[in-house]
Structure 1
């Protein structure tokens, strides 16, 4: 059971598939786009040779009319993203961490409710689902370290990244518990977890009208 009485879902290992691969691809494209092009004025100009130093028996190189430039040493390739661990991050909503270093990390693939958001039950009663989602995430963490898949952090103060606690994918957990909805970057696994949570009416969907696309609930067998 969750802290608010909603049934718990079984833990799931953090996927190293589509979400991580998509995150790596996006980070690689961003880093490549930021690399400045080499301009002619940035190259070192080399003085033309004043005499022929070609060894005997070797054909001299072709004559060059224009100026000579020395190609600069290419920069080292950027370090690839990796899982980076953060201890006791501060949580500001149901899917956002702020680390001790001041880095704000939003969990990839999910959209949490705003902290002040309310939800409505089928009987018309409203309840603070946004604050409950934040409280549920804090109860899930229980002081454990959070790992997020990130590039080198130099000059970065905000990021969107897949995150995990142990082997549990935080994004998948939020969706399977009904404390977030999938965003445009969500994988098929994420969308399936969100649909199952809504059909089972857990988390934000507790007490709500059943979705018409969900399978009918079978009555319990007589005892």
Structure 2
């Protein structure tokens, strides 16, 4: 017998030997029953764990086409339907902002371009509330990236009524390197800076 075959047979032989009763203790009673048996659960004393509740994601996939019209830093339209991100105060598309250096810059256009680049041609997973031709989107993600948090972090929108977004906004304002957060007066008065 070859060494290979012997090494393969050893675990099998050990398994058979372990299953055989020791001499003098032989028993013909089966380990399990072969007949249908009724089990009365009320007489069992086993610990029962509650059933695992699977959390179901109720968000809906929205596929944003390549051709969209961006209205401001939180809303865009596809055909005659307008999609609006919740919990963000937008930067209007035609708004001019005061730069920290003293000049003016087209912050509204930059904010609109950022939103367009963020969602155009992507699949968004969102909580959706529809009212005729207006669709409110909340808790939107693209992959693992939160859409509203990305807009607020870039300084192209102000967080409203959402603790997570307010935290993201505070962090972005401390850094002060992007969008409207570059100008310290925008942190005090978002609409007039």
Q: Which interval holds the TM-score relative to the shorter structure? A: 0.5 to 0.7
Higher helix share: 2
Q: Which has the higher contact order (CA 8 A, sep 6+)?
A: 1
- Which among 148, 162, 171 is matched to residue 171 of structure 1? 148
- How many angstroms does 1:190 deviate by? 0.3
Once the two structures are superposed, residues 180-223 of structure 1 have per-residue CA deviations (whole angstroms, 9 ceiling, x without a partner) of: 0012x3x11100111221221211122x238899xxxxxxxxxx
Question: Post-superposition shift, 1:149?
Answer: 1.6
SS in 1 for 2:95: coil
Q: CA 1:142 to 1:86, structure 2 compared with 1: closer, same or farther past 3 Å?
A: closer
Identify which of 115, 135, 160 aligns with 2:136: 160
Q: Judging changes above 3 Å, is the alpha-carbon distance between structure 1 residues 120 and 161 closer, same or farther for their aligned structure 2 residues? A: same
State how far apart, in whole Å, the 2-side matches of 1:209 and 1:171 are: 21
Secondary structure in 1 aligned to 2:71? strand
Partner of 1:180: 157
Which 5+ residue runs of structure 2 have no aligned equivalent?
A: 1-56, 189-193
- State whether residues 92 and 108 of structure 2, in contact with CA within 8 Å, keep that contact through their aligned partners in structure 1: yes
- 1:167 deviates by 2.4
- Residue among 88, 93, 114 paired with 2:72: 93
5 Å-filtered alignment, 1:103-118, equals 103-118=81-96
1:153-200 Cα distance to aligned partner (Å, 9 max, x none): 5x62113221222222211111111110012x3x11100111221221
The residue number in structure 2 matching 1:139 is: 117
Aligned residue pair count: 128
Q: Which ranges of 4 or more aligned residues in structure 1 deviate by more than 4 Å?
A: 210-213
The two structures have a TM-score, normalised by structure 2, of: 0.57
Quick check: 85-94 or 104-113, which moved more?
85-94
State whether residues 95 and 107 of structure 1, in contact with CA within 8 Å, keep that contact through their aligned partners in structure 2: yes
Contact 2:180-2:186 within 8 A present in 1 as well? no
Residues 83 and 121 (structure 1), Cα distance of their counterparts in 2 relative to 1, 3 Å cut: same
| Bigger radius of gyration among the two | 2
